[in-house]
Amino acid sequence: METQGEIQVRPLSWLTKEKRPIVIAGPCSAETEEQVLETAHRLKKTGKSDIYRAGIWKPRTSPGSFEGVGVKGLPWMQKVKEETGFPVTVEVAKAKHVELCLEFDIDVLWIGARTTVNPFAVQEIADALKGVDVPVLVKNPINPDLALWIGGIERLKKAGVKELGAIHRGFSNLGEKFYRNRPQWQIAIEFMRRVPEIPMICDPSHICGRRDILQAVGQKAMDLDYDGLMIESHIDPDKAWSDAKQQITPEVFGEMITDMKLRHDYEDNMRLQSKLDQLREVIDHIDEEILNLISNRMNAAREIGQYKKENNMTIYQPKRWNEIIEKSKVQAKELSISEKFLVSYIKAVHAESIDQQEKVFSE
Ligand code: PEP
Ligand code: MN
């Protein structure tokens, strides 16, 4: 068992230890018994999927959309287990859903993005899970709030849930055109840095909202060392009752996973990692030198501040400042650094110098 801050959990060992990445696939929604079973059998045939997903209760943005088949879909999931051997996972949004899933032997539960935003709902689910040993995956909230996402994990952990995982499905953003939900990878990366013992699964389907970029987004997650993928797959995607644009057939799903470059095997990975560590050491050393130089530069700025103060001169001298900016644009070209970066760097250093000199003036 590993410890990190508040959270102390057993990783999803049976899910992720032996096979990494773990792949969860299945339709956005369970629609009919035939659709659920046919999807499962066709996914089984690809040999690329480990867990079967289907939404039974669908939290939809607008009323009138298909809101899921409800409890009658649960026996279909049981049949999937019996006929294919897949463990199955279903989204839960309230205590009643948890109760029903447990009654029908659902193996893994997931909490959807619209539920993670609401601490009352997550707490209700956590309370319903007290004393129950079932793994739970928590999707990121629809808003880019890392603390809320980690908070959801903490609530479940406090309720005694031992096997936890996170699903990165992107963040809703007004005006976003390319993605359905902007990935904002840095938020998931920061999650992994803060709670490394929680496996991170990427859900390219809800990030993309379309088929043509699914593979690239899934690959990016693999390159970022995610632990798994959750991908929506439907036997006849264009006719799906929900999220039609982003679903792919089991066969296309199979090809997609086959074509992905997955992590190197463990030994290879260790070797690559140690080489990477060496290269990073060079960078760390250079960063240290840069910081020392910046510190020396600030000492010099304070000295200049003292001189200006003694001679009644102003701190900020626009002519000199313009010269510096113009010079940095020329230097950017010579050094193959973008002008945007160099100018913002110089501006940041200049702003700090002025602050330092103002301090000297007020002493
Ligand atoms: C889903 O997985 O079908 C779903 C509703 O996802 P999200 O909660 O990410 O919108
Ligand atoms: Mn969906």
Assigned token pair, 107: 């193996």
What residues line ligand 1, using a CB cutoff of 6 Å?
28, 55, 112-114, 139, 169, 206
pLDDT exceeds cutoff 80 at 16: no
Residue 112: pLDDT band with limits 50, 70, 90: very high
Pick the CATH number of 2-258 from 3.40.50.300, 1.10.357.10, 3.20.20.70, 3.90.380.10: 3.20.20.70
Chain CA centroid to CA 34, Å = 33
Residue 101: CB atoms within 10 Å: 25
Q: What is the pTM of this model?
A: 0.76
Nearest protein Cα to ligand 1, atom 1: 28
Predicted local confidence at residue 9, as pLDDT = 45
Write down the pLDDT at residue 12.
56
- The pLDDT of residue 1: 39
Report the atom number in ligand 1 closest to the C-alpha of 170: 9
Helix, strand, or coil (residue 109) = strand
8 confidence band (pLDDT: 50, 70, 90): very low
2: confidence class by pLDDT, cuts 50, 70, 90: very low
For the domain spanning 270-362, the CATH number is 1.20.59.10
- Tell how far the Cα of 53 is from the centroid of ligand 1, in angstroms: 11
Looking at residue 10, its pLDDT comes to 42
* Integer Cα distance of 239 and 220 in angstroms: 28
How many angstroms separate the alpha carbon of residue 206 from the centre of ligand 2? 6
Cis before 237? omega within 30: no
What's residue 156's pLDDT?
A: 97
Could you give the residue range(s) of every CATH 1.20.59.10 domain in the chain? 270-362
Is residue 38's pLDDT more than 90? Answer: yes
Helix (H, G, I), strand (E, B) or coil at 187: helix
State how far the Cα of 106 lies from the Cα of 73, in Å rounded to an integer: 11
pLDDT at site 4: 44
Supply φ then ψ for residue 36, to 5 degrees: -60, -45
Q: Which residue has the tokens 């046919």?
A: 38
Closest CA to 171 of 209, 203, 142: 142
Specify the ligand 1 atom closest to the Cα of 58.
5
Indicate if the pLDDT at residue 7 is higher than 70.
no
| Residue 165 bridge partners (DSSP) | 137
Q: What is the mean pLDDT of residues 277-299?
A: 88
Residue (of 119, 169, 123, 164) closest to 142 by Cα position: 169
- At 244 the pLDDT is 97
pLDDT number for residue 11: 47
**Tokens found for residue 295:** 């510190």
pLDDT at 24 over 80: yes
- Looking at the CA of residue 59, tell me the nearest atom of ligand 1: 5
Peptide bond into 21 cis (omega under 30): yes
Chain mean pLDDT for the chain? 90
Taking only the tens place, the pLDDT of each residue in 144-160 is 999 999 999 999 999 99
- Summarize pLDDT for 53-90 with one digit per residue, the tens: 999 999 888 888 899 999 999 999 999 999 999 999 99
Inter-residue contact 42 to 251 (CB < 8 Å) = yes
> How many whole angstroms separate alpha carbon 119 and alpha carbon 82?
35
Is 14's pLDDT higher than 80?
A: no
Query: What stretch(es) of the chain map to CATH 3.20.20.70?
Result: 2-258
pLDDT > 90 in the chain, percent: 71
pLDDT digits 0-9 by tens, 329-347 = 999 999 999 999 999 999 9
- Ligand 1 binding pocket mutation candidate from 169, 180, 243, 247 (most atoms within 8 A of CB): 169
Whether residue 47 has pLDDT greater than 60 = yes
Q: How far apart are CA 137 and CA 333, in angstroms?
A: 48
- Under a CB-based contact definition with an 8 Å cutoff, are residues 111 and 46 in contact? no
Question: Where do runs of H (alpha helix) occur along the chain?
Answer: 13-16, 33-46, 74-84, 95-103, 113-116, 119-128, 146-158, 185-194, 204-208, 214-223, 250-259, 266-310, 318-335, 339-362
* Minimum CA distance residue for ligand 1 atom 2: 28
Ligand 2 centroid to Cα of residue 167, in Å, is 13
pLDDT tens digits along 300-327: 999 999 998 999 888 877 888 888 889 9
DSSP at 163: B
Cα distances from 171 to residues 138, 213, 218, 226, 287, in angstroms, run: 14, 17, 16, 18, 32
The mean pLDDT value for 16-37 works out to 88
